Amino acid sequence: MPINLFGQKAINIVRDISPNDIMFQGNEEHYFSVGQSALDCINLSLSAAGRNVKDVKMILDLPSGYGRVLRFLKAFFGDADITACDLERDAADFCHENFGANPVYSSKRPADIRLPHGFDLIWCGSLLTHLDVNLWNEFFAFFNSVLNDKGLLVFSTHGRYCAHLIRTGSLTYGLDSHKQTMLLERYGRDGFGFVGYENNDDYGISLASPAYVLSLLQNISDLKLLVYLEKGWDSHHDVIGLIKAVF
């Protein structure tokens, strides 16, 4: 499947999709377009940092899932060493078997994740979107600790557009009406809101305004903002790109 990005030579991705991949809903065109969209966001961050493909030797995809984005990273970054990290062991194993990624089994607490080396690029799509702010801060500290100098962190959040979808009833994110109301009230009051799924207080849906996200990041002195793309990923998630660098 040739994909053309930013004037680069067309790339070919592996099209194998795991039958266990819940991100695949039967529409291959949309499934693959989500991976391309993530790569577009990453390339914008690379461009903003003044870096190029050859600067990226080590990549971490966390959570990797079954490689919806990772297959694009593998195709575009060529010989880069890619680590697939996910709580779902079958997902990490699938990425190893099909894309040659190093499989690492994740943990609910980032301090318990064991990685083999530092990274030049970290992609974190659709993780913080499901966590409360205490774990956001833990993951920011963790990612900062495993980023190489001038490494990039690119992650996604549910921002103002996602709040709009809930408010208008266009999308519920699996929440009942009571939890939707709670989430919007907290978001409206603080710029951040989180509610857990049914019978799960630790995993659910978060909403975060751009101002709130930046207020968290300004406390991490060596992570510098490159891009903030509202609705940047799949015309849905906000995407934030950072570089590890001192002033």
Encode pLDDT of 74-94 as tens digits.
Answer: 999 998 999 999 999 999 999
pLDDT the model gives residue 11? 78
Instruction: Report the share of the chain in percent with pLDDT over 70.
Output: 96
**Does the predicted model carry a pTM greater than 0.85?**
yes
Encode pLDDT of 5-51 as tens digits.
Answer: 444 446 799 999 999 999 999 999 999 999 999 999 999 999 999 99
Token pair recorded at residue 72? 């694009």
Instruction: Answer whether CATH 3.40.50.261 is correct for domain 2-157+209-244.
Output: no
Q: How do the domains of the chain map onto residue ranges?
A: 2-157+209-244, 160-199
d(CA 186, CA 235): 24
pLDDT the model gives residue 199? 87
Please give the chain's pLDDT, 247 residues, in tens.
444 444 444 679 999 999 999 999 999 999 999 999 999 999 999 999 999 999 999 999 999 999 999 999 999 999 899 999 999 999 999 999 999 999 999 999 999 999 989 999 999 999 999 999 999 999 999 999 999 999 999 999 999 999 999 999 999 999 999 999 999 999 999 999 999 999 898 999 999 999 999 999 999 999 999 999 999 999 999 999 999 997 7
